[in-house]
Amino acid sequence: MKVKVLLGLGAVLVCLVGIVLAVDSNSATKEAPVGVALVTDLDKTSYAVGVAMTQNLKGVELNLNALCQGIRDQMDGKKLAIANAEIGAILKAFSEKMRKVQEEQRAKQMEIVKKLAAKNKEIGAAFLAENGKKEGVKTTESGLQYLIIEQGSGNTPAATDTLKVHYTGTTTDGEQFDSSVKRKEPFEFSLTGGVIQGWIEGFQLLKEGGKAKLFIPGDLAYPNGKGGIEPYETLIFEVELLEINPAQE
């Protein structure tokens, strides 16, 4: 099969090449080696490509030895053990199989996300109901709760301003997931977007130099989750508004 034909099959064959990179090309056994030495840049690049590409093949059964032999025969210019026309038909069927596997995986992931979201909504609602009763805590129409620690004496941000802030983020059980304070590096962002809705609303309740705690419901944070933050997880941020940089005319 010509290279241009292989490329026309797109992501499927790219994934296949990734698997090959994880197998010792000199191995005469039927099993892949436990590990390979990653010494040169080529070794490391090959391994990285293999890891990245094979993630799309989770749940698909393949014979790695036959796979490697097919790649070697093609790259060495040997006569292929299967006719080109048959290879095309096989890969078309494989592509369809991959599509179904990926659909099943997406469905399972969506179900997991749905269950996590339901759990976190319930936990968050209970937390905010109790938290809203605490002295000094106020609740806005959106459901955002805030506690002013120090109001500050500067200006109040406009919706188009860029802010420089310090923050520490925790979950409702006290687990810290991010902190500009810990990094000793203030964070700058625009209120026109790029951050969660709870921040956009919350920082406009402060004046420059002010400090507050923001208790942000999941729908104003990360409804779909992000990194280690689960879908609809209620978050707590202790924030300080260091500086306002008004939008340029």
- Which tens digits make up the pLDDT trace of 66-121? 877 887 888 889 888 998 889 889 989 888 888 888 898 889 989 999 999 999 99
Q: Residue 201: pLDDT band by 50, 70, 90 thresholds?
A: very high
In this structure, are 231 and 152 located in the same domain? yes
Give the number of C-alpha atoms closer than 13 A to the C-alpha of residue 40, restricted to the C-beta side.
3
In this structure, are 236 and 176 located in the same domain? yes
CATH number of the domain enclosing 146: 3.10.50.40
Has residue 65 been placed in a domain? yes
pLDDT > 90 in the chain, percent = 53
The C-alpha atoms of residue 37 and residue 43 are separated, in whole angstroms, by: 8
Has residue 91 been placed in a domain? no
Q: Residue 42, exposed/middle/buried by CB under 10 A (0-12, 13-18, 19+)?
A: exposed
- Boundary (domain end) residue, out of 40, 55, 81: 81
DSSP label at residue 186:
-
Beta bridge partners of 178: 169
Has residue 107 been placed in a domain? no
- Boundary (domain end) residue, out of 56, 81, 106: 81
Has residue 92 been placed in a domain? no
Has residue 186 been placed in a domain? yes
Does the predicted TM-score (pTM) go above 0.75?
Answer: no
Q: Residue 13: pLDDT band by 50, 70, 90 thresholds?
A: very low
Has residue 112 been placed in a domain? no
Domain that residue 220 falls in: 133-245
Query: Domain tally for the chain?
Result: 2
Has residue 116 been placed in a domain? no
Residues sharing a CB contact under 8 Å with residue 226, sequence separation 6 or more, in sequence order: none
In this structure, are 137 and 232 located in the same domain? yes
Q: What are phi and psi of 229, to 5 degrees?
A: -90, 130
In this structure, are 68 and 170 located in the same domain? no
Has residue 88 been placed in a domain? no
